[in-house]
Structure 1
Amino acid sequence: MKFPETSLIVDHIHEPDLEFAFGQLSPHPKDGLFLYGPHARSKKMREIRVGVVGTTEGIGHFRSWSRKIQQVVSVPPPGKGEKQDRLHLANFPGLEEAFGISFEPDEISTLSIPAADIEKATSIVNLHEAVDKVAKLFIDRVRKHLRNEEQAVDVWVLALPEIIYDRCRPESRRSGVTMAPGEFARRQKAKKVLPLLVAAGVIDQTDEDIFADVPDFHRRIKAEFLNIAPTQLVRETTLAPEAFKNKAGYPLRKTQDAATVAWNLATGLYYKTQPKPPWRLATIRPGVCYIGMVYKSLPHDPDGHACCAAQMFLNEGDGVVFRGANGPWKTGDYEYHLKPDAAKRLLSLVLETYQELYNEPPLELFIHGQTYFNDEEWNAFCAAAPKGTNVVGVRIRTTGGETKLFRDGDYPVLRGTALLLDQQTAYLWTTGYVPQLDTYIGPETPNPLHITIMRSKYATPEIRSVLEDIMGLTKINYNSCNFNDGLPVTVRFARMVGDILTMGSAKGQEKQPFKYYV
């Protein structure tokens, strides 16, 4: 494509198709699953083994929800002022009908935790200790089950009471909670130093492992279960919103409609229990591998080191996370760069796995990052790749309100609109009006991604080809059943993967399927 010297080119990237059973195509996951089923669907219905951990009430809510998804879950009638034909919503046809899997709600493995134990643990005055105690209630219960039971579980569902969500995240205020000292405070008191330290505004963290991690229940659980099984964390209020109402009689929190919840959770259950994801991209070229770079500063590290990782995604859609070395990768406020040895080793891990799967190296290897690549790390990436593999570095950055396009005056642009600046740079609107849904799902005027082809080992690919790939990668988030995401999967989960990898219990996990992280 030739670019005029003084003009910008506005183009449109076609909506990528997804592949389902029998090689059938559809751009919408819900349509494809409803009409054809998952792309790797078995001829026979597959029984999945589900384990549930929670309070007695939470387990009951999950069982009730599980019975509902055995049949059709209808979209609620439109509210006042809503369109009659809401194409972004769809009835859920039933778990077996849509996904070809099933489980018996009354035969799931259930591990009950007394609500009083959760209340007591979440009320500990020190947040680090509170999160640690609550997480151990779930983790220890599962580990005990694994020691005593022979039957394996494909996925563990954690049905969480609202107090865990409210009290077990970083900077949880826990207002209105009657706080109580925990073991940490008692040990400090026994040392006879607590009054002096508190008066000075200092907490003695010597020999206290609970301070090594960020106090976040979600991160802790995901990290602990990396060597156990995939998990699905779901709030009780999501499973049974009608059971939780405020004093005025309204739902305690606003949730998605029951059909959408069924679609999203069922997609996650399928993805986390089956060898292949429910759909795959029909448009990705063979021999192409995509990598999303992950960096996360280590909490409380005196040397300021960071963790690095790579998320690999293939044409099947599924992913693998590779953990690299910890080191001094942070070079600025938002800049991270690997040293040559670490860069080469991390990419070698990715290439070895690709070789094992396909018995040959990739033809093209795209590295997606949110910063530029410096000479040292780029040369190491190229050295790690075998001869004939074109390594391409692409920077993908979100934008604010500085760049806007409108359609017909003040309507949102079509999703897939691209403003091509030159041979290597473009703005791409991955959100916007979707004709098939007859709507734009978003709170404000959509903002584009800024895409730059930074470097390439051999020939620089066409900018349009790179944009097509990124559009496709916005459609393989298997933790939900949305038409698309605003970010490609290589970038969307980078922060979450980094958050989990920096937890102490994630150490030693050099290579793990992506499904364990979401």
Structure 2
Amino acid sequence: MRFPEKSLRVEHFDEPQLEFAFSQRSPHPKDGLFLYGPHAKAKKSREIRVGVVGTTDGIGHFRTWGRKLNSVVQVPPPGKGEKADRLHLANFPGLDEAFGISFEPDECSTLSIAWKDIDRATRIINLNEAVDKVARLYIDRVRQHLRNDERSVDVWILVLPEIVYERCRPQSKRTGLPMEKGDFTKRQRAKESIPLFSAMGVIDQTEEAIFEDVPDFHRRIKAEFLKIAPTQLVRETTLAPEAFLNKANYPVRKTQDAATVAWNLATGLYYKTQPKPPWRLADVRPGVCYIGMVYKSLPHDPDGHACCAAQMFLNEGDGVVFRGANGPWKTGDYEFHLKAPAAKNLLALVLKTYTETHGGPPKELFIHGQTYFNDEEWNAFVDAAPKETNVIGVRIRSTGGETKLFRDGDYPVLRGTALLLDDQTAYLWTTGYVPQLDTYIGPETPNPLHITVMRSKNDKPDIRTVLADIMGLTKINYNSCNFNDGLPVTVRFARMVGDVLTMGSAKGEERQPFKFYV
């Protein structure tokens, strides 16, 4: 896209600062944790309770990694053609040193599953049934532990053989495998009617709900564990790439370097076991709340209904997911809009939670969506908010290759560069060259986000304020320890949250910490 030269207004937003222990600041999570520790650091090391479910080999791989986390994990030496000072990589100093938590790998609650049972279940003819059977192997072992063992668990680590990843996702191709006959053979509920009676009496249809869900192991596990505890799914090949080699004696899949894996695993362990996340935004204005709207079409629904939800994020605490009503929210190929009662009820639930936590409503409530807001839903949002709360609707959309901006002719732009089109519309490059890392981490020329301030209850905020906020929200993905994400957290996980909420086993959870979904 080309713009007249006189219309170009290019600005740059500084890298948002993060806050760590002792109110110390750094823009990089790894630097802040290494130097200061998490912002809610305790005086003494906290021992976390970890449960591990997997094959005997998988449990062994995790224990080996657990021991590594107790010490320094070095960045490997640079390969051929790589810079010696790869500033986007960092040595991992140890779980206790960086996060102030610890666990004893040999004393974890371990629940083993026979590999042959997983293999057999993944080869059941009907994919829905295969995914259900594999998920139940993990879920039933945990439920049995909860019934028989008094030891509580803060986070469950589910270690997955590669066959689960390969065979238990939507449209998994299981060609060439000796298939197993399941309880439902080839029958698909959507295609064939199921008789209510047989010569043996009434047929039990309680398990038929598996055909209403998308056959996806990850979604099923996350949905089921909403009622149990946070989970971390990790593949055996991530923990022990050297144990899975191809014919040429190379690992079967390329993984991140060991230090990066350690940082990400440790960040997830801390986030999912502690009351507050490891870092927070340092300069967020007081009384500001951010909401990301989530919509997901319900699978196999004859009426075309969708699930709606809202993700709430603040600068000082964990995110919360609020489930709204299912209904006819889809109005176009990529457009979703709530009816007034559903919009009002969903926002009222968010505001109630915020008020309970802070003793009063927010001053500003930003609603981030990927579509526009129609009159009916917007008026309902405004009606649900008290008069002292300014509600602002912001549309955030990813772009393709139609808009490019270069630095010094052909270099990627700096992360934080913005092209302001008018007082309420801008392109924002949340990816790009980062001077502190001396690199641009990306496969191609960075593409911007298209940001539009759509509506406002009172005065519209300055577009620069909106852009600065979005930059900050790209730095609070606590499921990894990256310098930044390309999308703000309000949008980044919308699809993942929607995927989980549309699973049948997720019903009934009106409000749940965000950490359960990632």
Deviation at 1:7, TM superposition (A): 2.1
CA separation of 1:473 and 1:317: change in aligned 2, threshold 3 A? farther
Superposed counterparts of 1:333-352, under 5 Å: 333-352=333-352
Cα contact 1:293–1:367 (8 A) shared by 2:
yes
Deviation at 1:174, TM superposition (A): 1.3
Superposed counterparts of 1:82-481, under 5 Å: 82-185=82-185, 202-204=191-193, 207=205, 208-481=208-481
Deviation at 1:185, TM superposition (A): 1.4
Q: Give the fraction of aligned pairs with identical amino acids, expressed as a percent.
A: 81
Match for residue 31 of structure 1? 31
The one-letter amino acid paired with 1:327 is: G
Match for residue 54 of structure 1? 54
Q: Provide the rounded CA distance (Å) in 2 between the counterparts of 1:434 and 1:22.
A: 26
Q: Provide the rounded CA distance (Å) in 1 between the counterparts of 2:458 and 2:209.
A: 48
CA deviation profile, 1:396-439 (whole Å, cap 9, x unmatched): 00000110000011100000000000100000000000000000
Deviation at 1:5, TM superposition (A): 11
Match for residue 7 of structure 1? 7
Cα contact 1:279–1:317 (8 A) shared by 2:
no
Match for residue 65 of structure 1? 65
CA deviation profile, 1:81-116 (whole Å, cap 9, x unmatched): 100000000000000000000000110000000111
Cα contact 2:399–2:450 (8 A) shared by 1:
yes
Q: Provide the rounded CA distance (Å) in 1 between the counterparts of 2:240 and 2:97.
A: 23
Q: Provide the rounded CA distance (Å) in 2 between the counterparts of 1:170 and 1:5.
A: 48
Cα contact 1:317–1:476 (8 A) shared by 2:
no
Match for residue 488 of structure 2? 488
The one-letter amino acid paired with 1:133 is: K
The one-letter amino acid paired with 1:350 is: V
Cα contact 1:297–1:306 (8 A) shared by 2:
yes
Which 10-residue stretch deviates more, 204-213 or 256-265?
A: 204-213
The one-letter amino acid paired with 1:319 is: G
Match for residue 191 of structure 1? none
The one-letter amino acid paired with 1:253 is: R
Gaps of 5+ in 2: 196-204
Deviation at 1:467, TM superposition (A): 0.2
The one-letter amino acid paired with 1:299 is: P
Cα contact 1:267–1:481 (8 A) shared by 2:
yes
Deviation at 1:317, TM superposition (A): 4.5
Q: Provide the rounded CA distance (Å) in 2 between the counterparts of 1:22 and 1:335.
A: 45
Query: Which runs of 4 or more aligned residues in structure 1 lie more than 4 Å from their structure 2 counterparts after TM superposition?
Result: 201-207
Q: Provide the rounded CA distance (Å) in 1 between the counterparts of 2:89 and 2:193.
A: 53
Deviation at 1:204, TM superposition (A): 4.5
Match for residue 199 of structure 2? none
Deviation at 1:6, TM superposition (A): 4.8
What SS does the corresponding residue of 2:367 show, helix, strand or coil? strand
Q: Provide the rounded CA distance (Å) in 2 between the counterparts of 1:456 and 1:265.
A: 40
Q: Provide the rounded CA distance (Å) in 2 between the counterparts of 1:7 and 1:444.
A: 27
CA deviation profile, 1:449-493 (whole Å, cap 9, x unmatched): 000000000010000000000000000000000000000000000
Q: Provide the rounded CA distance (Å) in 2 between the counterparts of 1:507 and 1:289.
A: 26
Q: Provide the rounded CA distance (Å) in 1 between the counterparts of 2:194 and 2:58.
A: 35
Q: Provide the rounded CA distance (Å) in 1 between the counterparts of 2:267 and 2:276.
A: 12
CA separation of 1:461 and 1:127: change in aligned 2, threshold 3 A? same
CA deviation profile, 1:34-77 (whole Å, cap 9, x unmatched): 00000000000000000000000000000000001100000000
CA deviation profile, 1:183-234 (whole Å, cap 9, x unmatched): 1119x6xxxxx9xx9xxx9544674222010000000000000010000000
CA deviation profile, 1:103-153 (whole Å, cap 9, x unmatched): 001100000001110011001011000000000000011001001111110
Q: Provide the rounded CA distance (Å) in 1 between the counterparts of 2:177 and 2:480.
A: 34
Match for residue 198 of structure 2? none
Deviation at 1:315, TM superposition (A): 1.5
Cα contact 1:281–1:317 (8 A) shared by 2:
no
Q: Provide the rounded CA distance (Å) in 2 between the counterparts of 1:220 and 1:244.
A: 26
Cα contact 2:209–2:504 (8 A) shared by 1:
no
What SS does the corresponding residue of 2:472 show, helix, strand or coil? helix
What SS does the corresponding residue of 1:377 show, helix, strand or coil? helix
Q: Provide the rounded CA distance (Å) in 2 between the counterparts of 1:435 and 1:185.
A: 58
The one-letter amino acid paired with 1:96 is: D
Cα contact 1:47–1:103 (8 A) shared by 2:
yes
Which 10-residue stretch deviates more, 446-455 or 203-212?
A: 203-212
Q: Provide the rounded CA distance (Å) in 2 between the counterparts of 1:317 and 1:409.
A: 42
Cα contact 1:417–1:428 (8 A) shared by 2:
yes
Cα contact 1:30–1:90 (8 A) shared by 2:
yes
The one-letter amino acid paired with 1:488 is: P
What SS does the corresponding residue of 1:184 show, helix, strand or coil? coil
Task: Say what the alpha-carbon RMSD is for the aligned residues.
Answer: 1.5
Q: Provide the rounded CA distance (Å) in 2 between the counterparts of 1:5 and 1:268.
A: 46
Cα contact 1:72–1:93 (8 A) shared by 2:
yes
CA separation of 1:205 and 1:436: change in aligned 2, threshold 3 A? farther
Q: Provide the rounded CA distance (Å) in 2 between the counterparts of 1:14 and 1:6.
A: 24
CA separation of 1:398 and 1:317: change in aligned 2, threshold 3 A? farther
Deviation at 1:8, TM superposition (A): 2.0
Cα contact 2:52–2:109 (8 A) shared by 1:
yes
Q: Provide the rounded CA distance (Å) in 1 between the counterparts of 2:279 and 2:184.
A: 48
Cα contact 2:291–2:367 (8 A) shared by 1:
yes
Q: Provide the rounded CA distance (Å) in 1 between the counterparts of 2:319 and 2:62.
A: 28
What SS does the corresponding residue of 1:326 show, helix, strand or coil? strand
The one-letter amino acid paired with 1:227 is: K
The one-letter amino acid paired with 1:116 is: K
Deviation at 1:178, TM superposition (A): 1.1
TM-score (norm 1): 0.96
Deviation at 1:269, TM superposition (A): 0.4
